[in-house]
Structure 1
Amino acid sequence: MESETTPLLSQSADADVYDRFSSGRKRCLLEKYPLAYVFPSAFASGSFVPCVPEVAADLNTTGTVVKQVISWNERSLEYFADYSLDGRQPIYYSSLPLLCLGSLASALSRTVTELAISRAIQGFGAGSVMSVGAATISDIYRIEERGTAMGIYFGAVLLGPALAPLAGGLASTYASWRVMQLILFGMALAALFAIIAFLPETNHPGTRGIDKLLAQEEAEGRTGGWRFVILNPFQSLTLLKSLNIFLIVLAGTFTLVTEYVLLIPLSYTVGIRYGLTTPAWIGACFLPAGLGNVIGAPLAGRLADKALINGRKRRGGEWYPEDRLRATLPGALILLPMSVLIFGLTAQFVNGKAGLIIILFCLLANGIGVDVVLSPSGTYTVDIMHDRSAEVMAASTAFRNTFCAITSAAVLPSIKAIGIVATNTIFALMGWLTFILIVIVIKYGRQLRDWIDMRYTVNICDS
C-alpha cells in the first residue's frame, strides 16, 4: 500500500501521456463530444417528465404509475458493463444501439409493461454513455486542468436535461409524446455514426484491462490463441468500499435528491397550483433548473481547480486532492437546502405571479447548487482513482440513481400525505447533511484513504 505520509499526487516526468492530443484537439473533443454523443443520452432522462398526464391517458393508467416507471427505468443499470477491460470506445459501440432500440420501442409502446421494458433498455444505453463520458474527458486533461474541463463538459451535457422537458412538452402539446421518442432514436443513431467516425480511444496506453492481461500472459510465456475472460457486472460497485468515495457518492446522492424533490412532482405542485395546464408550459418551468446546471458546472469546475492549486501552494508543492472539494461548500450549505425550503413554503403560502417567480428563482438556485457540488465531487473521485475512472463514475451513478429512483417514487405520495412544506423540509435537511459529509472528507481525507487499500492514484501523471 502506498504510504499516505507522502503526497497522494506527486510530480512526474511521465506527464506527457496528456500530450497525446494537441490543445486544439482537446478543445474540439471537449466542445463537440458532449453535444454530439452525450446529448441524446441526457435527453432520454427528461423528455418524459412534463408528459406524464398524456402518457397515462394514452396507456390507460395513472400518473403515479407512469412516474414510477420513469423513475425506476430512466436510471441506473449502468454498472452492468465492464468499463476497464476494452477501453472507452466499446462502451459507446454497445450502449448507443441500446439507446436507439429503447427509444424506438418506447415510441411504439402500447401498454405500461411495454413502456417499462423499453425504458429499461433506454436507461441502460443512456446511463453507460453518461458514465464513461466523464472518464473520457479525464483521460486527456491533467489534474490542475481537469476541474475546469469537467465543469465545461457537465455544463454542455446538462443542456440536455435543461431542454428535454421543454422539447418533450412541446412534442406532447402539438403532436404526441411518441414523437419525442422517435426524435431521440434519430439523435442516438446519428451519435453512433459520429462516434465510429470521429472519436479516438482516449484510454492511457497500457491501462486497459486487456493490455494488462496480455502483458501478464506475455510475462508468463503464454501468447496467442483464444481466451475466456469472466466479467463481473457488479465489479465497479466494489469501489464503494473506499470511505472517501462512499461518503462523496452519498453526498452526491443527497444533492440529486434535493433536485428531484422539486422537479419530479412539478406538473402537480406548480402546474396545478399556478394554473399551468399544458405540457409545454410545464416543460418551460424546467428551464431555470437547467440554466442553473449550465451556469453552475463550469463555475464550480474553475473554482475547484483554483482551490486545488492554492492548496498546493500553501503546502509547499504538495497535492492534497481533497482541496478540490472546498469549492462545493457554498452550494451544499446554502443553495441546496435553502432553495428546497423556500420552494415548499412558497408553493404552500404564496399565490399568483409572485409565487411563481419565487419558485422559478428557487429552481435556478437549486440548479446552480447541484452542480457546484456534483462537478468537483465527480472530478475528485476521478483524481484519486484515475486508473478506474470510468468504473468509479459508473459506481457512483448507479448508487445515486438507484437511491434517487426509490426516493423519486416516494415524493408525490409524501406531498399528498404530509404536505409540501414538511416534505421539502425533510429534503432540505439532506442538503445540510451533504455539507457535513463533504467537510468530513476534506478534514479527514488522508486518514480515510489509509483505512482501506484501494490502490489510489499516486502520481500526477496517472491522474
Structure 2
Amino acid sequence: MYTVSAPQTDDFIYDRLSPARKRLITGILAFCGFLAPVSSTTVLSAIPEVASTFNTTGSIIDVSNAIYLVFMGISPCFWAPISQVYGRRWMCLSSAVLFFACSLGTALSPNIAAFFVFRALTAFQGTCFMIVGVACLGDIYRPTERATAMGWFLSGTLVGPAVGPFVAGVIVTFRSWRVIFYLQAALGGFATIMVFFFLPETIHHKRSDELEGLTRGQKVRRIWEWTNPLRIIKLFKYPNLVSLRLTVCCKSAGSSALIWNMYSLLTPIRYIINPRFALTSPIQSGLFYLAPGCGYIVGTFFGGRWGDHTVKKWIAIRGVRIPEDRLRSTIPFIGVIIPGCMLVYGWSIDKKVGGTALPIIVMFLQGVAQLFCFPSLNTYCIDVLPSRSAEVAAGKYMVQYFFAAAGTAVVLPAVDKIGVGWFSTITAIFLVLVAVAVYCTAVWGKSWRDRIDGVNSPEKAADLHCVGPVEVDEKKAATQIPCEIPP
C-alpha cells in the first residue's frame, strides 16, 4: 500500500468561507437551480390555453417542452468547460441575466415560432445554474460534507418541476398564461441581484490564469482546447460514469432513470388525473403536483445526510474513502422503493382503485425517495474526478435531460397506447435494472477507473481519483489521501 499526502493547504481551501457564508451560497445556488426546472413544467398546466392562443394543438405545445429539455441537455457541454476557464461567478451572473431576458421574450412571443425559440434559449441559459452550482459546492465543502449540501441544492432543482405546474394552474385559472413567464422573468431578475451581490468566486484555480505570457494564437488554441464541448463527451471513456448515465443493453443510468421517472410521472398528470377523478379546472389537477413536491422538500432534510452517513460508515469499515461507497446509499431506493411506488401509482389509476389518497401518498413517497438518491449520485460526480467536477456534472446533466426529453415526448402516446399501468410497469423494470448497474459501479467502480486511467504510481492515483481520509475525521478528509495502488 502507498499513502499519498496532499498539500496541507488543501484544508485551508475548504475553510476560506465561514459556515454561515457557505449556507448563504448554497441557498442562492438552490434558488438559481430552481429556475430552469420550474420552467420545464409550468407550461404543462397551460398547454390548452397556449395552444388556443397560437391556433395549434396541445401536442405541438408538448413538443416545445421536449425541445426545452433537449436544450437543457445540450447546454452543459458549453457552460461547464467555460466555468473551468473563467470561473463560476461570471457564468452564473451572465446566465441569470440571459434567463431573465429570454423569459421576458417568451411572455411577449407574438407567434408559435417565437415561443419555441425563446423557450429553447431559456433552457440553454438556465441549465448553467445546475452545472456551476454542483461545481461551487465541490469548491467549498469537504467530501464528507458535500452530500448534505447537495441535498439542499437539489431541493431547488427537484421542487421546481413539481411546484411549477401548481403555480401555473392557479395563474391560468384566473389570468393569461403569459403571466407565468412574466413571473419567471421576475424570478430571473431576483436571481441576478442575488448572484451579483452575494455569490463570490469559489473556483480554486481559473485556467485563464495560465494564459499569461502566451501569444494571441497560442491563447486561442489553448482556450479552444479547454472549452471544446467534446471534452464532456470524452469523459464517457470512464465506465463508472457511463454506468451512472447511459442505458446500453441491460445497463442503465442512475440519474437518467430517476429523471425519466420524474418527468414521465409529472407530464401526464392533467391528462390522466382529470378524467380519473372528474376534475374540471387546471388548479384542481395542479394540486396533485404538490405531492411529489412536498416529498422533495421532506427528503431534503434526510437524503444528503444519509449519503454522508454511508460514506463515513464505509470509511470506518475499510479505513479509506472510496468514492463508489457513496453509491451504496442509493440502491434500496432506486431498486425497491421507487419502482414499488411507480407500480402502485400506475395500477391504482389504471384500475380506478384507492381513491385520491393512494396516488397522492405514493407520489409523496417517490419524492422523498428520489432525494435519497440524487444527492449521492451528484456528489459522486464531484468525488470521482474533482479536478473536472463541472465537466463531469455537465456530462451527467446532458444525458439526464435527454432522458427527460424522451420521457416527456413518449409518455402521453405510450399511456394512450398501453395504459398508465403498463407504462408504469416498464418504468419500474427500468429502475430495477438501474439499481443493478449502480450496485456494480459501487463494487467494481474503482477497478474500472484504475484500468482506464492506467494507474501505475501513487502520484497518478492522487491526481485522478484516489481521495479519502484514513480516519472519519472530517477535518482530515481533504488532507490525507491513502489509496491502494496495484503493484
Deviation at 1:45, TM superposition (A): 2.0
- Determine if contact 1:378/1:393 at 8 Å carries over to the other structure: yes
SS of structure 1 residue aligned to 2:110: coil
- Give the distance between the partners of 2:15 and 2:58, measured in 1 at CA: 52
Distance 1:102 1:77, change over 3 A: farther
- Give the distance between the partners of 1:225 and 1:245, measured in 2 at CA: 34
The size of the alignment, in residue pairs, is 446
Deviation at 1:338, TM superposition (A): 1.1
Aligned to 1:272: 275
Which of 203, 209, 213 aligns to 2:207? It is 209
Aligned to 2:297: 294
Matched, 1:70 2:65: yes
Deviation at 1:156, TM superposition (A): 4.1
- Provide, for residues 359-416 of structure 1, a one-character-per-residue CA deviation record: whole Å limited to 9, x for no partner: 1112112212222222101101111111111111111111110122123201111111
Aligned to 1:362: 362
Aligned to 1:239: 235
- Provide, for residues 333-378 of structure 1, a one-character-per-residue CA deviation record: whole Å limited to 9, x for no partner: 2222111111111111125xx4321111121122122222221011
SS of structure 1 residue aligned to 2:14: helix
- Give the distance between the partners of 1:277 and 1:456, measured in 2 at CA: 56
Deviation at 1:190, TM superposition (A): 2.0
- Determine if contact 1:128/1:394 at 8 Å carries over to the other structure: no
SS of structure 2 residue aligned to 1:434: helix
Matched, 1:28 2:24: yes
Give the unaligned 5+ runs of structure 1.
none
Aligned to 1:331: 333
Q: In the TM superposition, what are the counterparts of 1:400-411 in structure 2 within 5 Å? A: 400-411=400-411
Distance 1:296 1:456, change over 3 A: farther
Answer with 110-119 or 155-164: which moved more. Answer: 155-164
Deviation at 1:28, TM superposition (A): 2.3
- Determine if contact 2:259/2:403 at 8 Å carries over to the other structure: no
Deviation at 1:213, TM superposition (A): 4.0
Normalised to the residue count of structure 2, the TM-score between the two structures is 0.86
Which of 244, 251, 256 aligns to 1:253? It is 256
Letter of the 1:59 partner, please give it.
F
SS of structure 1 residue aligned to 2:356: helix
Letter of the 1:399 partner, please give it.
V
- Determine if contact 2:386/2:465 at 8 Å carries over to the other structure: yes
Normalised to the residue count of structure 1, the TM-score between the two structures is 0.90
Aligned to 2:36: 41
- Give the distance between the partners of 1:434 and 1:292, measured in 2 at CA: 22
SS of structure 1 residue aligned to 2:465: coil
Matched, 1:51 2:46: yes
Aligned to 1:87: 87
Deviation at 1:274, TM superposition (A): 1.1
- Give the distance between the partners of 2:357 and 2:2, measured in 1 at CA: 52
- Determine if contact 1:300/1:327 at 8 Å carries over to the other structure: no
- Determine if contact 1:42/1:158 at 8 Å carries over to the other structure: yes
- Determine if contact 1:148/1:305 at 8 Å carries over to the other structure: yes
- Give the distance between the partners of 1:70 and 1:337, measured in 2 at CA: 25
- Determine if contact 2:139/2:202 at 8 Å carries over to the other structure: yes
Deviation at 1:297, TM superposition (A): 3.6
- Provide, for residues 7-28 of structure 1, a one-character-per-residue CA deviation record: whole Å limited to 9, x for no partner: 8x97752321101101221122
- Give the distance between the partners of 1:412 and 1:39, measured in 2 at CA: 25
Distance 1:41 1:419, change over 3 A: closer
- Give the distance between the partners of 2:326 and 2:356, measured in 1 at CA: 36
- Give the distance between the partners of 2:334 and 2:7, measured in 1 at CA: 34
Aligned to 2:315: 312
Letter of the 2:263 partner, please give it.
Y
Q: In the TM superposition, what are the counterparts of 1:130-279 in structure 2 within 5 Å? A: 130-204=130-204, 207-214=205-212, 217=213, 222=214, 227-228=219-220, 229-230=223-224, 231-249=227-245, 250-279=253-282
Aligned to 2:453: 453
Letter of the 1:171 partner, please give it.
I
SS of structure 2 residue aligned to 1:21: coil
Letter of the 2:67 partner, please give it.
W
Moved over 6 A (4+): 223-226
Quote the sequence identity (%): 30
Deviation at 1:309, TM superposition (A): 0.8
Distance 1:11 1:315, change over 3 A: farther
Deviation at 1:85, TM superposition (A): 0.8
The two structures, once aligned, show a CA RMSD in angstroms of: 2.2
- Give the distance between the partners of 1:410 and 1:269, measured in 2 at CA: 15
Letter of the 1:293 partner, please give it.
Y
Give the unaligned 5+ runs of structure 2.
246-252, 455-462, 469-477, 482-487
- Give the distance between the partners of 2:421 and 2:215, measured in 1 at CA: 65
- Give the distance between the partners of 2:273 and 2:83, measured in 1 at CA: 40
- Provide, for residues 95-147 of structure 1, a one-character-per-residue CA deviation record: whole Å limited to 9, x for no partner: 12221122111112233322111110010111111221121122111011111
- Give the distance between the partners of 1:335 and 1:137, measured in 2 at CA: 28
Deviation at 1:329, TM superposition (A): 1.4
Aligned to 2:323: 321
- Give the distance between the partners of 2:357 and 2:210, measured in 1 at CA: 56
- Determine if contact 1:258/1:337 at 8 Å carries over to the other structure: no
Distance 1:213 1:239, change over 3 A: farther
- Give the distance between the partners of 1:404 and 1:377, measured in 2 at CA: 17
- Give the distance between the partners of 2:40 and 2:160, measured in 1 at CA: 9
- Provide, for residues 76-96 of structure 1, a one-character-per-residue CA deviation record: whole Å limited to 9, x for no partner: 232222231111012113212
Deviation at 1:43, TM superposition (A): 2.4
